[in-house]
Amino acid sequence: MTSVRSGFDDLVTGARNVDFWAFMAHHEVKQRYRRSYLGPFWVTITTGIMVGAIGTIYGGMIGSDAARYVPHLAVSFVLWSFISQSILEGCHMFLEAGGAMRQMKTPRSTFLYKTLYRNVLLLLHNAVVILAVFLLFGVLPGWPLVLLPLGLVLLFANIAWMVLVSGILCARFRDVPPIIMSALQLLFFATPVLWMPEALPPHLSLIMLNPFFHLIAVVRDPLLGHWPDMVSVAICAAMAVFGWIGALGLLSRTRKRIVFWV
């Protein structure tokens, strides 16, 4: 356990730095849309337009029932945006924090919390699109909704370590950001966002190895009124445990040196 101890301490002290990261996250969201009339609701609007356009075009092409396809698309697209945006921002979180790290004593995880919180704020803005689609198509999730908190915990727990690991790797090796960007682009097509998981032909079931397949499923299923697949839940839980052990080990080993890399 000693090998993950200093990383764990860093996470705890970083969490206490809430005044810093919460203000920074809010401030960054606000600053980006300052002097625009709609402010951060531009996030909501652009997502709404994407979902509307893809829903119409792809929904028409695939020929599936709009009442099933569009809610699936809205939830999956919003979740995918959260996942990919968080990880991409994670790539730059330490690189951008170089100046701050060199003038104040601060746990490295402060910047992790800032990145996560900022993306959760954006996720909440995008959740409005899901709500609108549900109202439009009269989607009522029913009882499976009680498992939504479980799905969200699994999603956030996994995204958090992924953001941390990509932050550290990208700070050390400048070749990693483009690698991660390409990998995410590929994974987008291997994740049921534009297509529905039922459409997956058996010979392509290897796609189930894609971790994001399950991370999205555990949140999407309860929202759409399905009980989540326990295999997906188990995979997400295992990923969270092993991912965090690895991430804490990495943070413990590199924590002191990150400031010299950026």
Partner 1 sequence: MASVLLENVALDFPIYGSTTQSLKRRVAKALVGGAIEKSGSKVTLVHALSDVSLALAPGDRIGLVGHNGAGKTSLLRLIAGIYEPTGGRLEVVGRITPLLDIGHGVDPDATGYENIVLRGLYLGRSRREIDTAMPAIAEFSGLGDFLELPVRTYSAGMTSRLLFSASTHFPSDVLLIDEGIVVGDEDFQARAIERLDGLVGQAGILMISSHATDILERYCTKAVRMAGGRIVATEPISASEGPEVAS
Window 91-150: residues binding partner 1 (CB under 8 A): 99-106
Q: Smallest distance, Å, CB 58 to partner 1?
A: 38
256 lines the binding site for partner 1 (CB under 8 A):
yes
5 lines the binding site for partner 1 (CB under 8 A):
no
Q: Tell me which stretch binds partner 1 (CB under 8 A): 18-26, 36-44, 131-139, 198-206.
A: 18-26
Q: Smallest distance, Å, CB 104 to partner 1?
A: 5
Both tokens of 210, joined, read 């894609």
251 lines the binding site for partner 1 (CB under 8 A):
no
Closest CA to 94 of 186, 202, 167: 167
Three-class secondary structure of residue 174 per DSSP: coil
Q: Smallest distance, Å, CB 12 to partner 1?
A: 16
Is the four-CA dihedral 154, 159, 160, 165 of positive or negative sign?
positive
Closest CA to 79 of 45, 19, 134, 130: 130
> Which of 3, 5, 12, 27 forms a contact with partner 1 (CB under 8 A)?
27
Choose between 189 and 257: whose C-beta lies nearer to partner 1: 257
Choose between 36 and 56: whose C-beta lies nearer to partner 1: 36
Choose between 8 and 58: whose C-beta lies nearer to partner 1: 8
Choose between 35 and 203: whose C-beta lies nearer to partner 1: 35
Q: How far apart are CA 126 and CA 118, in angstroms?
A: 13
Both tokens of 23, joined, read 């203000």
Name every residue whose Cβ is closer than 8 Å to that of residue 246 and which is 6 or more positions away in sequence: 161, 165
Q: Are 132 and 71 in contact (CB under 8 A)?
A: no
Closest CA to 77 of 216, 184, 223: 216
Q: Smallest distance, Å, CB 250 to partner 1?
A: 17
Binding positions for partner 1, rule: CB under 8 A: 19-20, 23-24, 27, 31, 34, 99-106, 256-257, 259-261
